[in-house]
Every structure is written in C-alpha cells, then in structure tokens.
Structure 1
C-alpha cells in the first residue's frame, strides 16, 4: 500500500461491541490519517459534526483477535478500547493495516516533536463533553508535527554542541590557577575547569537550551491541548519566558555543576570485587531503610517514553536498551530476587512436614506467595540491571522452638551475584542449615517489547534440596509483563510452571493466566498436584497477589490469604560496612538522586557505573583474564555455589 493511499480518508461499516446487553451493533467508521482520528457514527447519513465516539491513534495498539478471522481491537494510549468486527478476514486486514499505519505515523511524529499526549478529555465520547469541546478543540495535523520535528532536530544539534563545550571545560586541569581572558580560547591549557567565568559560560549554555525547550513546549501545548476560554488562569506570555528561564536555570546550574561532577567521579568502580568483609552474620542488622522509589513520575515524562517507543519494534530485545531513570524502582534485580523470600517461615516449613504430599503442598504454598512478597507496588517499575561481579547478601531470622522447648532463631541466608553480562545471568544461593534446605539457581533474564507491554522471561535452573529427606525440587518461574507502559504500568504474570520431585514422584503444574482484551480478571492462577501414580491430590485457584484456595481430594480446603501475610524485613550489613560491589552501596548515589527527583544526576552516575564496568570488561579481554566469581563457579551451563 503506497504512502499516498495511506494518507487518504478511509471509511466503512463495522460491527462494534457495545455492551453485554446489546452486543455487536453496526456503526459507520471514518479514519482520518491527517489528524490521526478514528471516529464512528450511528450510520452513514448521521451529522458528521457530532461523532458518537472519537479516539486518537497516537500510541494505539491494533490487535487482531485469535478467536476468529474477522474481529480486532483498537487499544488507545488513554485506555479506551474498541472491539470491532469486519465482514471477513480480508476486510479486517485492510482496516488493521490502515489503522496501524496511521498509529505509527502519529506516534513517530509526536515522539519526534516531544509533546505530551492529548489529555483524556480530548477523547471523551460523552455527548455533553463532545459538544462543549467541539468549538474549542485544536486539531494538530502531520504538517504541524513535522515542523515541530525540524525544530527539535535543531535543538538536538545545539544540545550536542553544548555537551561538547561542557566536556571541553571539564577536561581542563583543576589545579592551576589563573584568570580568564581571551587567551583561554587560544591557550586552553592555561585555564582550569573551575574558573568562575567558564562555569558561567557552561551554565548560560544550558540555561539557553532550557529556555528554548520551554518555549517549544508551550507552542506544542497550544497546538495539542484543548483551549478552555472559560479558564481563569492567564496564559504565560512567551516574551516573559526567556528572562525567567535563563535566570532560574543559571542559578540552579551554577550551584549544581561541581557537586554533580564530584559525585560522578567519586563513584568510579573499585577493584574487581572490592572489600566484601567476613561472611558471618554478626554484622547483619534489620533493614531500616527502603531503597525503593515510592513516587511515580511517568505522567510528566510521558514524552520521553513516547520517544523511546518510536524506536522500538515488536519482539525487540530490550536487554541493552537504556531506559530513563524515572521509571527505576531504586533497587537492583539481585535485591528484588532476595525480596521473594520475605516470608521465610513458609520457606523453612517445607522441611518440617513429615510426608512427601505435605512437603509438596508446603513448597507450593511458599512458591505461590513469593511473587507478591517480591513486589512492593501495584504499578510496575524496573530494577537496576546488575553489573558483572555485583553481589547482594542478606538473611532473615525465623523464630522457632527446638525439641527441648527452648526458643531460638533459625537463620535463612541469601547470596546472589551477577556472574555474566552477555547474556545477563544472576546466580543465587539460599540456605537454612538448621532445616537442611539449600536452594540454587542460575537465572537468565530476557526482555522484549510487544506493543503496549514489555515481557520478561526468566530462564534457568532452579533447585531446592531438602537433604534430610534426600529430595530435590526442580521448578521454573512464570513470565512477567509490564502492561500499559504508556499510562500507569502494572505487573502481570503469565505462563505455565512445572514443579517436580523425582525422589517422591510428586509433581505440580501451575498456570498464571493473563487477562485478555475481551475481559476476565487479572492475576488469576490455577493448578493441581499429582502423586507418583498420576492421581490428583489437590487443586488450587485464586489470585497470586490476594487469596488462593486449595481444595484437597478428601473435601477439605485451605485458604492462603497472601495479601495479609506479614513481611519479614531482611537483615543486611550497614552501608558503611558493605563492599564497593554490593548492590546497596554500588547504586546508593543513583537511588538518592532519584528520590530527590534529580534525574539528570541519577542518569550521569548510573552511566558512569556502567561505563566503568565496560572498561573493566575490556581490560579483562585485552589481557585474556576470565571473570572470576566470588561465590560461584560454572559447571556446564549452570553456576554452582562455592561451599566453604
């Protein structure tokens, strides 16, 4: 299909699913590629000035249905969804191709011009809102978006030049002392990077770009946002922006240049492993600070997400894609894995059960609760990608009573290390010697882009040894999906999990159900446990983050209220006693900068850590020295813990 044909208005009749009572109803649809709008009317002769519904296709996902050959769904960036049905497969493909082409054109155009998406009111389907906004709505065409794109390109060139200027100033020596003059341009070696006038020059450059970016943002908002003439707010005059922006940016930048550079330089990675200290737990204290970021800053940075999405394709591997710091949750993937053991009492109870059936049930109960224990938010945020050699250690104390009736604390220890960077592999080891429980895993993560979602697959070997019974449980993890990444992303688990114990012959299968476009509940999970003869001994059903019911063959039931289970805080060494490559200390400055909403500073420090990692890897390759893990050694394709 030619580009000229794609830019022509396309219209036709489709079935639209309205509700359960009325079901599918014929509606007349008009697709306008120039404005990126899909509108529908009751019939072809209805007044074109008042559509029954309108949706903007920028950032939209068009999904053909797997249930038949004629249905498809239009999922807008604002959360609206149209379930549509064509007369046959050919007509559906025609609509899908055109809708996807228009969606891609406007998503790319908006991402290049860097504006926010039109607010939800712009897409209102209520007649009262439609009539009120009809006279005040401003339609932004592709020609206008192309003009914004050209301005953005010029700003990008200016930003590159400003960056080169800043780097040139920072490369000057910091020890010499001399006054600034015209000679610095002829003899740059005579100046220092801390000269007052050079700092002013650097700050003014940044302030000017800030001013121009704000002016462009105001112009974009005037073109893309609905104009409310009844608003009592007085619009900001463009003539008043430059002086205010320059003054504010200059004051803030001059005061932050030196501290920011110093913080980055002070975080240069140490020797290969750093000082990890002793392996005893006497220095471990209850974690009294959260490294996670509670605020969510997506709405004010939505344009950045759009720009990233414009360069992605479905199925694209996101392993090496640098994502913005405002979507990070303030902890490493290694610490996230440790948080899955925040219900340690359920973990140690596996070894207390006397029969294989009860041990399998206890294992399943711990397994189903660990995912909720590892998640702290209802929305999805991304952990830091661990660097090669990064470690995380912690432990939990579980109150217990021994055979003589005396109270004691059972210790569960956790150790994890990033043992490979390409591909990214995290090795972990969990043990409870008092209960003879030993868990080992080599986890390889792979993420991919699938339209409006990001999927993460966890591949690897997971083994839990219960040595007191000579049993070993082999299992895997479900896939995780970050849904609605352009609005408020949320986590969903999906896929089938198999759990096997060859010594006892017991096995379990668990299915994490994903919510379909056509309804259903989120976070659903179901499964069953079988004995060595293949007979079902129990079934389970519920939600992995709320409540699960287990029904046994004898008719008895057990409810596991996951949401109400108490979280046991992990214990770890204080930050001052941690090694340079331990997760909390390694990412401490990045986390603090994100908490303070200093995203540029956080990005700079994070990039410096990753840059130092690449330098270390390059040096190892040049001298032919392999990476040596602190806690693990490789056997075949798996990593095995070095028992002391």
Structure 2
C-alpha cells in the first residue's frame, strides 16, 4: 500500500462492542490521517459535525484478536479502547494496516515536537490535531485521566451487575408470587438501566469540561521537554549492526578468551559492606513520554518482550541478578527457619521469610526495569548476622549468595544461597518471560525453587508470583499477582498465598491472603494484608501476630570492591552504563549498553562457529534445571 493511499481518508462500517447489555452494534467509522483522528457515527447519514466518539491515534496500539480472524482492538495511549469487528479477515487487515500507519505517523510527530497529549475524547472540530502539534495545550492532566479510567472501570462493573439483575428477573416464572412481569421488578430493571445511562452522560460532560485549551509557544516549554533523546530510540530499535568495542573486534581472539575472565578468589575477608545506593530513584518518564509512546505503538498485546530493547531512562541501574540478591536483605528471618524445633514452626518461619522477600527487593513504589544479565554474568555477595543463640560464640553467622546467567535463549538465572553453619541451602533456576498487555507489562517467573534444611531432612519447594508494571505511560508502579504454593514433602505441611491484583474490577492494590495446613490438611493459620506494608497472621488457637514489613531490620549485603571484581561480575559489566544513567546521559548509556550486548552476540556467534558449548562458572545442567557445582 502506497504512502499516498495511506494518507487518504478511509471510512466504512464496523461492528463496535458497546457494552455488556447491548453487545455488538453497527457503527460508521471515519479515519482521518491528517488529523490522526478515528471517529464513529451511528450511521453513514448522521451529522458529521457531531461524532458519537473520537480517539487520537498517537501512541495507540492496534491489536488483532486471537479469538477470531475479524476482530481487533484500538487501545489509545490515554486508556480509551474500541473493540471492533470487520466482516472478514481481509477487511480487518485493511483497517489494521491503515490505523497502524496513522498511529506511527502521529507518534513520530509527537516525538519530534513533544506536545502534551490531548484528552481521551476530543469533540471540537474547530481545532485540528496539527494545531495541537504547534503548541496548543489542554488542562486535562494524567491524574484526571487516571481518575476517568477508574470511573469507567466502576461503570463497567455496574453494567455487569445490571445485566445480571436483568437476566435474573427475566428468568423468573410467569406465574407465582414473584414473576418476570412483576410491576416492582420491572421498575427496578428500568431504573437500573436509566441510572447507568445518566452516569455515562455525566462522565462525558465531566470529560468535555476538561477541554479548556490555552495557548503557549515552544519558547515557554522547558528545555527538558523539548530535548527528547530521539536518537536513543532509533538506536534501541535498530538491529545489532552497531559499533563493537575494540575488545571484541578480532573474532580469532575471542576464541581464546576465557568464559569469565578473572573472577578473583573466594576469600570472604575481601568483602566489605556495600555502600552504593539501591538503584536510581528519580524518574525521568514525564519528559520522555513521547519516546515511550513511540515504543508502545510498535507493540502488540501479548507480545513477548524478551528481545525488545527498551530505552535506558527506564532502567534502574542494577542487574536482575543483584535484584534477586536484595530479596535476601532479611537474612535473620532466613536463618530462623533452621532454628525452629518443630515442622509447624519451621513452616511458619519459612512463610515469614518468604513474605518479606518481595518488599526487600522492590522497596520503591515506582517500577524500573533491571538490566537483562548477559550470558555468563555473575553476582556474588554475603551477609553477616550476629549470633544471638550462642552467647559464648562471638563470630557472626555468614550467608553467601551466588547467581549466574546460565542461558540467554531462553533467559535463565541460576541461584545458590547457603548458610553452612545452619545446614541451610537454597537452589533455584529461574526463567523470566515478559509480555505486553495494553498499558501494562507483565513478567512471569518459571523454574525450580527449593530450600533444603539438611539438619531436619526437609526440603521446601515453592514458586513466585507474577510481577506487573502498571500505568507505564505515567508513573509506573509494581503489582504482584497470582497464586503461590509452598510444600514440604517430608513433614506434609503446605501453604498457599494469593497475590490479589487491583484488576479491571477495582479493589485495593498489593493485597495478599493465604493459609498454612498441617500434614492432615487442617488449617493452622491464615494470613492477610499487604505484601509491602502489614501482614496479619491469625493462628488456629486464637493468637494473632502482625508483621510490619517496612520496619523489619535490613542487613546490607557485603561485596568485594569494584577493583577486585572479575570482568564478568554484574557491577563491573554495567558500571559505565549505570554512571551514565545517574548523570542523565541517556544517549551515552544507550550506546554503552548496546556495545555490551553486541559483544555478547559476537561471542555467541564465535562459540557456535567453533562448536564450543557455554561453560558455567558455578553451575551445571541437570535435565531441565541447573545445579550448583559443590567443591
């Protein structure tokens, strides 16, 4: 399809999913590439000056449905969604191609001039989108847009309840004390529908009241809003034909390079308390929103993000391997598992440690992405916990942590944590899979997770909840979701924890609930609360215990100084990228990050050419999992 054809006005009839009660309805749609607007009307003859609905396509995601060959969705950057259906697969493809072309064209225009986004619905025909690019602003803030989104969610829930009520009344018998034609029930049914209609119109009026445009000029826009690092986006979306560090220019030399470089010795006396901050705390998303929108416009709902290069300003300045280590910042709770004398108390101690891990690794309310570890990357640290059980013994109890990226396709991280004094060991091989879903990014963790208590001949198996980055075009925040199962086959004790998501139907964020059962299946306690605040445990004997997660004591990890770390240790690999991000030198950080990734691609190609397998530093593969190389 030629560019001239894509710039022509396109119109036609589509089915639009209106709501639960009305379902699919025929509507007449008009796509105007010049203004970037998609408008719809009740029918083809309706007054064109008063569309029933309008969305801007800048930053929109056009997603063909997996359910059939004719449906697709238009997800605007500000949350509005049209669920549409064409007559056949060919017509759907025609609409999808045109909508994506218009969305890309206007997203690039925003990236160049970076004006604020228009509101969710814009009914005025006096001011075109091109004038918006020249400096017109609206007073509708992201906070207001988010509020509108929450109201829509509640209206959707109310519509479902009204629909259920209507169906329940219609299913009543025609004779008897309560019938489907009862006068009061019919009034209730009509009142419910009328109330929803009234509320929907009130919401539309409130939205239109936010359209008070004011005039400004680019000279009044802060420099930070006009200097979007578009070069970084181009580099992030390019293939791997970038500059390669001189270290890896010679492929013959690569064949002779050791897999890991100098890893140094394992003497814990070289370890000192880590004095670096917990990542990069200030956010830079608002001034780079146009870049995010440009990336989102290229994504499809459900798309695997494993191979998607994201801009450096959303990175948090540490590797995923280090993030996993920070989950052990409450090592005293981990040690206590082995110190308890009964299977019941050990399971309860395990639960307390497990529930403390997520806040320890994710203390910040906003979401940032850690670096994807490169193949062979390692991270090592330890913690020292005062020995409070043996007053005669003054030495500290030491817990060591080792992690390594043992696979790149798929991405697999292997972990080994040990406390020899307590005969306590954790092993894990974790595969991460991320996907895009509208305005959220989800990460699923698959693999084997085990904690062994050698002194008690017990082994606990468990899994991890999924993590979601919500509101990725404003200030992203972390949410956990899914069900976790914990089991000890030796004692027969088990536990289950559900991480509740706020979801489409409302609710409260960060909620958890769970229960612990003994070997007979009887519940010995229940827990509920918030994984990042307070968790209350109610025991079967009536006792209650409350855990304040943010107030638990933090033990800072101990590491070797950067000068003594090996070339493949996380801090050494990413140090220059992290420094550039902290200085807000995002283009420089992007170039350095791409150099590291290009080096890894060259190493992998060379390995394949000579038929040499990857050799892990700390682990070896056993079936589908990875085991630690015990000396």
Q: Same fold (TM over 0.5)?
A: yes
User: Contact 1:107 / 1:306 at 8 angstroms: preserved in 2?
Assistant: no
Q: Deviations over 1:439-467 (max 9, x none)?
A: 00111112222232222211111110011
Equivalent of residue 332 in structure 1, options 319, 323, 337: 319
Secondary structure (helix, strand or coil) at the match of 2:459 reads strand
Partner of 2:546: 559
Secondary structure (helix, strand or coil) at the match of 1:341 reads coil
Partner of 1:108: 104
More displaced stretch, 294-303 vs 460-469: 294-303
Equivalent of residue 571 in structure 2, options 572, 581, 584: 584
Partner of 2:330: 343
User: Contact 2:244 / 2:598 at 8 angstroms: preserved in 1?
Assistant: no
Q: 1:435 to 1:302 in 2, by over 3 A?
A: same
Partner of 1:504: 491
Q: Deviations over 1:237-269 (max 9, x none)?
A: xxxxxxxx9xxxxxxxxxxxxxxx999547999
Output the CA distance in 1 between the equivalents of 2:110 and 2:403.
40
Output the CA distance in 1 between the equivalents of 2:111 and 2:105.
10
Matched, 1:609 2:596: yes
User: Contact 1:401 / 1:408 at 8 angstroms: preserved in 2?
Assistant: no
Output the CA distance in 2 between the equivalents of 1:6 and 1:356.
71
Q: 1:74 to 1:607 in 2, by over 3 A?
A: closer
Matched, 1:598 2:585: yes
Structure 1 stretches lacking a partner, 5+ long? 18-22, 66-71, 145-225, 237-244, 246-260
Q: Deviations over 1:29-86 (max 9, x none)?
A: 98653245578999x9999978998653544569999xxxxxx9986423x558x999
User: Contact 1:402 / 1:408 at 8 angstroms: preserved in 2?
Assistant: no
Scaled by the length of structure 1, what TM-score is found?
Answer: 0.69
For residues 12-411 of structure 1, the aligned pairs below 5 Å read 32-34=30-32, 35-37=35-37, 55-60=55-60, 76-78=76-78, 80=79, 104-113=100-109, 115=111, 122-123=118-119, 137-140=127-130, 231=216, 265=246, 271-290=258-277, 292-411=279-398
User: Contact 2:244 / 2:599 at 8 angstroms: preserved in 1?
Assistant: no
CA displacement at 1:573 relative to structure 2: 0.5
User: Contact 2:330 / 2:357 at 8 angstroms: preserved in 1?
Assistant: yes
Q: 1:101 to 1:451 in 2, by over 3 A?
A: farther
User: Contact 1:138 / 1:227 at 8 angstroms: preserved in 2?
Assistant: no
User: Contact 2:480 / 2:510 at 8 angstroms: preserved in 1?
Assistant: yes
Output the CA distance in 1 between the equivalents of 2:62 and 2:498.
27
CA displacement at 1:531 relative to structure 2: 0.9
CA displacement at 1:353 relative to structure 2: 1.5
Secondary structure (helix, strand or coil) at the match of 2:415 reads strand
Equivalent of residue 545 in structure 1, options 532, 546, 554: 532
Scaled by the length of structure 2, what TM-score is found?
Answer: 0.70
User: Contact 1:58 / 1:103 at 8 angstroms: preserved in 2?
Assistant: no
CA displacement at 1:548 relative to structure 2: 1.5
User: Contact 2:61 / 2:75 at 8 angstroms: preserved in 1?
Assistant: yes
Structure 2 stretches lacking a partner, 5+ long? 66-71, 135-210, 222-226, 228-241
User: Contact 1:505 / 1:532 at 8 angstroms: preserved in 2?
Assistant: yes
CA displacement at 1:324 relative to structure 2: 1.7
CA displacement at 1:592 relative to structure 2: 0.9
Q: 1:262 to 1:354 in 2, by over 3 A?
A: same
Higher relative contact order (CA 8 A, sep 6+): 2
CA displacement at 1:112 relative to structure 2: 4.5
Partner of 1:8: 11
Q: Deviations over 1:473-531 (max 9, x none)?
A: 00111111222223322222222111110000001111112222231122222111111
User: Contact 1:317 / 1:449 at 8 angstroms: preserved in 2?
Assistant: yes
Secondary structure (helix, strand or coil) at the match of 1:400 reads coil
Output the CA distance in 1 between the equivalents of 2:379 and 2:611.
27
Output the CA distance in 1 between the equivalents of 2:219 and 2:7.
42
User: Contact 1:59 / 1:77 at 8 angstroms: preserved in 2?
Assistant: yes
Q: 1:316 to 1:74 in 2, by over 3 A?
A: closer
User: Contact 1:447 / 1:454 at 8 angstroms: preserved in 2?
Assistant: yes
CA displacement at 1:359 relative to structure 2: 1.0
Q: 1:626 to 1:508 in 2, by over 3 A?
A: same
